[in-house]
Amino acid sequence: MSKGSRNPRREMSRALSRVANATVAETLETQAELPEQVLYRIGVTGAPGAGKSTLISRLAARRVERGAKVAVVAIDPTSPVSQGSILGDRIRMDAVSDDPNIFIRSIPSRRAHDGLADNTADLLWAMEGHGFDEVIVETVGVGQAEYSVRAIVDTVVLVLLPESGDAVQAMKAGLLEMADIYVVNKADLPGAELMAGDIAATAARQAAPEINGGDGWVPPVLQTSSRDAASFAALDAAIEAHRAWRQNRIDHDAVRRARSRYQVQGLIGRRAEELLETMPDADLDRSPKEIYEALLQQLATAPGEGET
């Protein structure tokens, strides 16, 4: 579609805008064919303020330097104007050069049941076919989102902050299977070393054969700091290592099917929501079974049909 285009970045930007605010019907119009998925997807997740945007800008710059065409999309619930350091980084990068090998875009997140923006899968889909090699997607981790992002990206990087021992203890229980790479960021702050050690011990124990796809990827635990350029080289290398491991060890067809499942489930959920929002009160004053059956009938008609 974009072959021979003179401005793939603008094209991708338009494609993202189209999907960012689209109804289900509009979204489906862009999904009539199965695209060849070529973008390697790196998910970077973690709490607000963990330093994800800062880390991503360093990581992206490094990967572009190595010759990759890198797209970055930040699904951010905070205003990109007031909070998004990624926007500042973009301005800084653009000031240095109008590098056609990097694309950065911040998109306000929409609510979803699983903490991941309800259209993240569709946004990633829309980024295919514009000549980029990989996409780094920033998502704010609010518990469930860290698990959900697994379904749609290839490598999950979880960014954590050096914290008190108590917080680490509480977190350990939830760390199971969560990420492919753990990063204790802001390692210039006290407590990073201790925390990284704690997580590494937990991660090693959890890399049992029955976890993580069957043959023991042991998630590395790295420390990064915006004051230490070498720390991002280590992160870059860890991502490449995971990518190589994944390439040979996982069932790619199964992954593709799981992604389709996740994406279609999201589309159906949103379509159901659209229909329930416009359902007359009288229709809602019925039993859940009756409402469900009425909804199923409406779902059976093409989405958008009969709408203005």
Question: Given the rule CB under 5 A, which residues bind Mg ion?
Answer: 52-53
What is the amino acid identity at position 122? D
Q: Closer to ligand GDP at the Cβ: 192 or 199?
A: 192
In the complex with Mg ion, the residue whose CB is nearer, 224 or 263, is: 224
| DSSP conformation class of 212 | G
Among 105, 186, 242, 271, binds ligand GDP (CB under 6 A): 186
- Sheet containing strand 221-223, strands side by side: 102-108, 70-76, 134-140, 40-46, 155-160, 181-184, 221-223
Question: Can residue 189 be called a binding residue for ligand GDP (CB under 6 A)?
Answer: yes
**Of 13, 85, 110, 269, which lies in the binding site for ligand GDP, with binding defined by CB under 6 A?**
85
Q: How far apart, in whole angstroms, are the C-alpha atoms of residue 143 and residue 180?
A: 16
Q: How many residues bind ligand GDP (CB under 6 A)?
A: 15
Q: Which of 64, 41, 14 is nearest to 259 (CA)?
A: 41
Q: Which is nearer to Mg ion, 77 or 304 (CB)?
A: 77
Nearer to ligand GDP, 128 or 188 (CB): 188
Q: Which residues contact 72 (CB under 8 A, 6 or more apart)?
A: 56, 57, 60, 86, 102, 103, 104, 105, 135, 136, 137, 138
| Residue 268 touches which of ligand GDP, Mg ion, none (Cβ within 5-8 Å per kind) | none
CA distances from 96 to 84, 99, 152, 260, 278 (A): 19, 8, 32, 39, 49
Residues 6+ apart with CB under 8 A from 307: 25
CA distance linking residue 111 with residue 108, whole number of Å: 10
* Interface pattern 210-229 for ligand GDP (x via CB under 6 A): ---------------xx---
Q: Closest distance between ligand GDP and the C-beta of residue 70, in Å? A: 17
From 52, 63, 150, 270, residue interacting with ligand GDP (rule: CB under 6 A): 52
Nearer to ligand GDP, 52 or 63 (CB): 52
Which residues contact ligand GDP by CB under 6 A?
46, 48-54, 85, 185-186, 188-189, 225-226
